[in-house]
Amino acid sequence: MIQVRAKELAARELTALVRRVLAVARGVPVLVNTRTDVALACGAQGVHLPSGSIAPARIRAIAPAGFLIGVSCHGLEELALAEREGADFAVYGPVFATRSHAEARPVGLEALAVAVCAVSLPIYALGGITEENAPLCIAAGAAGVAGISLFR
């Protein structure tokens, strides 16, 4: 999946960016960070929500079939809530220390393994993911990894 995350852009500019990404994604699902309206208007395959956002079930009521809804989670309670509210997957972390959220305390691989067992949602590890530690996240049970600096 590709998540378009450009918080600083106004709706018009974000819409243009999402349309450009969709044009080159070649079958890879494109999700828009936070902006369900933009995702739906552009025909993106889903949205990714921060923790504490509107319940995924509310979005599901207006979205087309197959629209993906992911939620960022930072603890077991948030994971359980995301599952109850109908998310398709969760992004969990930060697993490792990360420059993009230096203030956040890493949860570590053991907490990731516990989280994976706590819910039936696919969980993607986030935070400080590198080529070297990504396999450790998969070994801990993560469905995959998510990253920002990993892909720069």
Question: Which tens digit of pLDDT belongs to each residue from 34-61?
Answer: 999 999 999 999 999 999 999 999 999 9
Average the pLDDT over 85-97 and give the result: 95
Strand-pair partners of 2? 30
Query: Going by DSSP bridges, is the β-strand pair 46-49/89-92 parallel, antiparallel, or unpaired?
Result: unpaired
| Strand locations in 16-137 (E) | 30-33, 46-49, 68-73, 89-92, 123-125
Paired tokens of 22: 């969709």
Average the pLDDT over 78-82 and give the result: 97
pLDDT, mean over the chain: 94
At residue 100, the pLDDT reads 72
End-to-end CA distance of the chain: 16
At residue 98, the pLDDT reads 81
| Strand locations in 28-118 (E) | 30-33, 46-49, 68-73, 89-92
